[in-house]
Structure 1
Amino acid sequence: MNLELIWVLSLLGIAIVLFATGKMRMDAVALLMIIAFVLSGTLTISEAFSGFSDPNVILIAALFIIGDGLVRTGVATNVGVWLVSVAGSSEIKMLVLLMATVAGLGAFMSSTGVVAIFIPVVLSVALRMKISPSRLMMPLSFAGLISGMMTLVATPPNLVVNSELVRDGFDGFQFFSVTPIGIVVLILGIIYMLFVRFALKGEDTRVDKEGGQRSTFRSLIKAYRLNGRARRLALRPGSPMIGARLDDLKLRERYGANVIGVERWRRFRRVMVNVAGETTFCERDVLLIDISASEDELRQFCSEQMLEPKILRGEYFSDQAMDVGMAEVLVVPESELINQTIRQMAFRSRYGLNVVGLRRAGKAMEGAVVDIPIQPGDIVLVVGDWQLIKQLSQQSRDFLLLNVPIEAIDASPAHSQAPHALFCLVLMVVLMVMDDVPNAVAAIIACLLMGKFRCIDMESAYKAIHWPSIILIVGMMPFALALQKTGGVDLIVHGLMSFGGDYGPHIMLVCLFVMCATIGLFISNTATAVLMAPIALAAAKTMGVSPYPFAMIVAMAASAAFMTPVSSPVNTLVLGPGHYTFSDFAKVGVPFTFIVMMVCVIMVPMLFPF
């Protein structure tokens, strides 16, 4: 063993210790390793930074943006709403549908993002079913990890392994090469969780307190006595409101009617339009109106303005929660707005939001709240666009955002662009499957189209990229090159061959899987794939067999990070909401990892012969 190899192995050991202890950010550790390689002369500057030129790094960044586009347009949230409606009160049905849905979504977007979206869904379901969230959080996490086995682009380890194959001069895997294995693992995972969920009690079997106490549209509607005040009215042809500005119509003064929002036809579908004083109404508009009036007064209003009542599902626009937000706001006692009415503040013109309720000393005020002078301690209920509610809390020194209902989690800033987001996703998958366009280029095309269709904006696109993961991948790639240059790969392969080489390639697959699983206890699955991919290909070359089954076993083993809460961000996300301990993951994850290993050792050679 030469001095250079000892240096590289020492750096690897230091990196693993730092990863395991968590005393330093993983991306910072990766950058330190790059610096160490360059300053020591182990790698040239171009070799140390070669990860930045890897197309798969660009692909992974683009996939983060695609996933965020699906979140911003409400596609992922709608799937969660559908899941709750279909599963009903059946825990078994919920578990099966939850795991299948998360694995399906995670096949095309970040598994971490999918799990983050479904955590509030699971908390809500647990509250309704009166069961501990720990019974569903672990299945959610496992499904997120299994999603990495569903498609080539589902998780960075798959792309890292595929990139190593291409770098060695082989054809890469196809888009759905991993799917048969993933489907079998998913089925077994669902069956496994149906049996072991009773052991998932966590440290605290009570439903999350924060999730249980947080207000909802329903509780705010009841607290401010808004029941029966919402109307959905369509403009009939010839209505005097068509072409008129909202301020000029003076609907508040004449009828006590407050326009909350407008449903408008755009490109063959209805979209929600936020209203302001300058809003001009169009033919076929459907108005969401808050009005406290008798049936006779309402009929008179509809007759004079030529409005047609439409069906309103849910109470006070609760069915419009993705577009129409609601929140409680406190007027700061030192504000200059104290003793002014909402109308005098020109609240709607200034902030784009409507005040529909007012509470003083815990009691909801009745009548025209916009004409009641605001006193210190008053809390007003505002309704309008979610983004404007967020801006009110950030930009105004006169108001303090007190309480945002739990429906805010489901709010989608680009909800109306959901069909476009789905089109971009399908187009990307088709281009990748056809293999006429490089995967990275296909993903960038989808990102650009999402920007064109306003599914995402530039700011959200850059924020969507999980830069620590990108830097971690880039920083760990030089390790593989350094091990190859210093003979480390040959040394490890020699050790593997002496241990299991005489027993055939199947045993070697087991050895590789166990190595990946062991390393994955201490570092991320992506870093594991970076280190193990060149070792697997070198082992295949030494044995004189096809590299594909060896590469695939590394990809699958890297995704099988079920044994500890630090093996993957997916596990870390559910640790708190599920009230789990480290031993909970070991107790459930170790047996399932063994099951996944058996499936892979059997299926991989069948799909990719030696």
Structure 2
Amino acid sequence: MPDLAIVLFLLVLAIIMFALGRPRMDAVALIMVVALPLTGVIGIDDALAGFADPNIVLIGALFVVGEALVRTGIAQRLGDWLVRKAGRSEARLIVLLMVVVAGIGSFMSSTGVVAIFIPIVLRIARNASIPAGRLMMPLSVAALLSGMMTLVATAPNLVVHGELVRNGFEGFGFFAFTPFGMPLLALAIVYMLIAKRFLGRDAAPTEPVKRPTLGHLAKAYRLEGREHRLVVRPSSPLVSDRLSAFDLRGSEGINIIAIERATRFGRQLMRPKAESRIEVGDVMLIDARSPDLDMDALAERYGLARLALGNAYFGDRSQEIGMAELLVSPDSSLVGKTVVDGRFRSLTDLVALGIRRGREAIDTPVTDVVLQTGDTILVIGPWRAIARVPQRAERLILLNAPIEMEDVAPASDRAPHAAVILLATVALMASGIVPNVVAALLGCLLFGLFGCINMNAAYRSVHWQTLILIVGMLPFSIALQRTGGIDIVAQWLLAMVGGAPPRVVLATLFVLTAVLGLFISNTATAVLMAPVAIALAGALDVSPYPLAMTVALAASAAFMTPVSSPVNTLVVGPGNYRFGDFVKIGVPFAMVALVVTVLLVPLLLPF
């Protein structure tokens, strides 16, 4: 008993530090890794056993998988799809937002998903004149529910799975959580469509940001109507010849911004060069300097067919190409020259679209304007070229980059490869052909092999605080088991609900786990409650699976306070929320999650 008292004292001390937030959670975990062996209850090997746990390696690998999805732009493209499909309908926005976030969160960190979608949601709210607070809570709820979709969706699932394996049971399957998560997601969508009226009432619609968007720049430089998309037909004289042979800029007054070419994995955007050869089926993105240019006649002359446009001024290709404003400095070699004389495109790899002198855009064609100190040049081209302007064109100043530049994926051309690798990794995990950790590591290696992520980005992507937190809390599970603490809690629960129906047992376990999660992270909660659930199952002589699943689901039901999960904490500021907003919205839905869990778990995982 003295040993148990010491362990409980350290546990209570850790919970208090978690609740106060001082020191940070991973520091508390490391303190406990050092303190527990000093008590003599466990040895140093037990204290450090978490570092050798396959689930720790698996969680680390999943952070790398998530980063690969971000770097290749898959997550951002889903966000762009959401914007196109939802339009200005708030109800449609909420439905699609929650479905997309829950889907992505099934395969990567829910915290990472929220970090990706916060700027997307802010942009949606701004464009639709909706208070951001009406969308941020659905975002956080969907991210938390994503943890109930697959085995690898959140750390608590893997913690509970690992505890089952350590006790000699077969762990959960990859999609074992999906039958519980899907109904809860559907109920959450309906719930948020009703509850949204209680959110964002005190906030004005999101104000426009000071940084421009691509649309703002196009409007400021009067580019409306200048963009065209033309596909090359088999009869085109351009086919198989170099672009330099036609001088389309000089003879027709058009600039080829980029060329779309079909590949095995979709369409690739290419930068046009003088030696570039045109192929049948290529799509040319064209800027026509003169509004009087007869595009139908030009298309007929060169064997081209006009295509419909997407967003304003090629905004639908904002992952590959963008715009920015460059300021001409006093000592620039371009002063006193036109962009043609100064070989601007060769210097920067960018196309000059417009020039502004002072506050007014100059109507004269760009190629005819003699540049002066202080002129602002609007350019379009690959984001990489825009970012290189300060290094490659030292006398041009990158003055104003649009807000879309923050969302650019550095390996967007690798998106098809990333999608195939992700599907293969998930298939390996779901099939059980190899252990989950082997499948995840193989996926990481393939991401690196195909250029979806590099080693530096992979190391940076790992959320070491989460891994250290789990490693630091696992020794508590071992110490409580050796000192009889787990059995005492199990016996206490048995005395309280032992004669009750099975669903009452599950409800009690759910409430205990959820309440503990109000004070410590849901990962730490799972570490402590998973062995209790398995011990309680042994005392009741029932299957451990329904009790273990209840703990996992309750750990993800962290809707009730802004500190219950990092997911909630992230949306407090952007949503302009108060503590009471989470209580008002989160507590009722936590009760919904409780009812669904108690009803479904015994049906799908019999006692």
TM-score (norm 2): 0.89
Q: In the TM superposition, what is the alpha-carbon distance from 1:551 to its structure 2 partner? A: 0.8
Measure, in 2, the Cα distance between the counterparts of 1:392 and 1:6: 64
Contact in 2 for aligned 1:123/1:207 (Cα 8 Å): no
Contact in 1 for aligned 2:18/2:520 (Cα 8 Å): yes
CA-to-aligned-CA distance 1:94-131 (integer Å, 9 cap, x gap):
32332233222322232223333333343344334433
Residue 441 of structure 2 is aligned with which of 423, 441, 444? 444
Contact in 2 for aligned 1:256/1:368 (Cα 8 Å): no
1:530 aligns with 2:524: no
Residue 456 of structure 1 is aligned with which of 429, 436, 453? 453
Aligned pairs for 1:199-214 within 5 A: 199-201=198-200, 204-211=202-209, 213-214=210-211
Q: Which residue does 1:364 correspond to in 2?
A: 361
1:352 aligns with 2:349: yes
Aligned pairs for 1:512-527 within 5 A: 512-527=509-524
Contact in 2 for aligned 1:522/1:567 (Cα 8 Å): yes
CA-to-aligned-CA distance 1:298-343 (integer Å, 9 cap, x gap):
7897788x46253250433223222111122345667787667655
Distance 1:539 1:321, change over 3 A: same
Measure, in 1, the Cα distance between the counterparts of 2:265 and 2:199: 48
Measure, in 2, the Cα distance between the counterparts of 1:462 and 1:353: 33
| Local SS of the residue matching 2:287 | strand
1:494 aligns with 2:491: yes
CA-to-aligned-CA distance 1:437-460 (integer Å, 9 cap, x gap):
111122223333333343333333
Aligned pairs for 1:132-143 within 5 A: 132-143=131-142
Residue 259 of structure 2 is aligned with which of 259, 262, 277? 262
CA-to-aligned-CA distance 1:235-279 (integer Å, 9 cap, x gap):
566746846476x876555555433222223336320023467x6
Q: Which residue does 1:76 correspond to in 2?
A: 75
**Larger deviation: 230-239 or 27-36?**
230-239
**Larger deviation: 118-127 or 435-444?**
118-127
Contact in 2 for aligned 1:276/1:352 (Cα 8 Å): no
Instruction: In structure 1, list runs of 5 or more residues that go unmatched.
Output: none
Measure, in 2, the Cα distance between the counterparts of 1:27 and 1:378: 52
**Larger deviation: 468-477 or 586-595?**
468-477
Measure, in 1, the Cα distance between the counterparts of 2:342 and 2:42: 65
Measure, in 1, the Cα distance between the counterparts of 2:284 and 2:183: 50
CA RMSD of aligned residues (A): 3.1
CA-to-aligned-CA distance 1:353-387 (integer Å, 9 cap, x gap):
33322222111124354665654543322211123
Q: In the TM superposition, what is the alpha-carbon distance from 1:172 to its structure 2 partner? A: 0.5
**Larger deviation: 22-31 or 387-396?**
387-396
Aligned pairs for 1:564-603 within 5 A: 564-603=561-600
Distance 1:6 1:368, change over 3 A: farther
Q: In the TM superposition, what is the alpha-carbon distance from 1:597 to its structure 2 partner? A: 1.3
Contact in 2 for aligned 1:231/1:309 (Cα 8 Å): no
Instruction: In structure 2, list runs of 5 or more residues that go unmatched.
Output: none
| Local SS of the residue matching 2:498 | helix
Distance 1:498 1:354, change over 3 A: same
| Matched length | 604
Q: Which residue does 1:544 correspond to in 2?
A: 541
Measure, in 1, the Cα distance between the counterparts of 2:472 and 2:358: 57
| Local SS of the residue matching 1:430 | helix
Residue 471 of structure 2 is aligned with which of 474, 482, 489? 474
Q: In the TM superposition, what is the alpha-carbon distance from 1:56 to its structure 2 partner? A: 1.4
Contact in 1 for aligned 2:231/2:306 (Cα 8 Å): yes
Q: Which residue does 2:276 correspond to in 1?
A: 280
CA-to-aligned-CA distance 1:525-577 (integer Å, 9 cap, x gap):
11211121112212222222221111111100100000111211221222122
1:423 aligns with 2:420: yes
**Larger deviation: 412-421 or 148-157?**
412-421
Measure, in 1, the Cα distance between the counterparts of 2:394 and 2:26: 37
Distance 1:517 1:377, change over 3 A: farther
Contact in 2 for aligned 1:135/1:201 (Cα 8 Å): yes
Q: In the TM superposition, what is the alpha-carbon distance from 1:516 to its structure 2 partner? A: 1.5
**Larger deviation: 494-503 or 44-53?**
494-503
CA-to-aligned-CA distance 1:133-154 (integer Å, 9 cap, x gap):
2222211211111111112111
**AA partner of residue 520 (structure 1):** G
Contact in 2 for aligned 1:72/1:412 (Cα 8 Å): yes
Q: Which residue does 2:93 correspond to in 1?
A: 94
Aligned pairs for 1:325-344 within 5 A: 325-331=322-328, 342=339
Distance 1:10 1:342, change over 3 A: farther
**AA partner of residue 31 (structure 1):** L
Measure, in 1, the Cα distance between the counterparts of 2:597 and 2:265: 48
Q: Which residue does 1:385 correspond to in 2?
A: 382
**AA partner of residue 322 (structure 1):** Q
Q: Which residue does 1:50 correspond to in 2?
A: 49
Distance 1:242 1:35, change over 3 A: farther
1:215 aligns with 2:212: yes
| Local SS of the residue matching 2:284 | strand
**Larger deviation: 54-63 or 70-79?**
70-79
1:308 aligns with 2:304: yes
**AA partner of residue 357 (structure 2):** R
**AA partner of residue 311 (structure 1):** L
**Larger deviation: 392-401 or 188-197?**
392-401
Measure, in 2, the Cα distance between the counterparts of 1:422 and 1:369: 41
CA-to-aligned-CA distance 1:210-233 (integer Å, 9 cap, x gap):
54x542222211111223333434
Contact in 2 for aligned 1:235/1:242 (Cα 8 Å): no
Q: Which residue does 1:21 correspond to in 2?
A: 20
Measure, in 2, the Cα distance between the counterparts of 1:111 and 1:136: 16
| Local SS of the residue matching 2:224 | coil
Measure, in 2, the Cα distance between the counterparts of 1:429 and 1:296: 52
Distance 1:276 1:167, change over 3 A: farther
Measure, in 2, the Cα distance between the counterparts of 1:324 and 1:409: 13
Q: Which residue does 2:185 correspond to in 1?
A: 186
Q: In the TM superposition, what is the alpha-carbon distance from 1:502 to its structure 2 partner? A: 4.2
Measure, in 2, the Cα distance between the counterparts of 1:398 and 1:47: 61
Contact in 2 for aligned 1:537/1:551 (Cα 8 Å): yes
Distance 1:282 1:200, change over 3 A: same
Q: In the TM superposition, what is the alpha-carbon distance from 1:197 to its structure 2 partner? A: 1.5
Contact in 1 for aligned 2:333/2:342 (Cα 8 Å): no
Contact in 1 for aligned 2:477/2:528 (Cα 8 Å): yes
Distance 1:369 1:459, change over 3 A: farther
**Larger deviation: 167-176 or 566-575?**
566-575
Q: In the TM superposition, what is the alpha-carbon distance from 1:159 to its structure 2 partner? A: 0.8
Contact in 2 for aligned 1:48/1:478 (Cα 8 Å): yes
Distance 1:210 1:334, change over 3 A: farther
**Larger deviation: 587-596 or 356-365?**
356-365
Determine what percentage of the aligned residue pairs are the same residue.
50
Q: In the TM superposition, what is the alpha-carbon distance from 1:294 to its structure 2 partner? A: 6.4
Q: Which residue does 1:116 correspond to in 2?
A: 115
Contact in 2 for aligned 1:276/1:348 (Cα 8 Å): no
Measure, in 1, the Cα distance between the counterparts of 2:338 and 2:172: 66
TM-score (norm 1): 0.89
Q: In the TM superposition, what is the alpha-carbon distance from 1:161 to its structure 2 partner? A: 0.4
Q: Which residue does 2:173 correspond to in 1?
A: 174
Q: In the TM superposition, what is the alpha-carbon distance from 1:595 to its structure 2 partner? A: 1.7
**Larger deviation: 582-591 or 228-237?**
228-237
Q: Which residue does 1:196 correspond to in 2?
A: 195
**AA partner of residue 178 (structure 1):** F
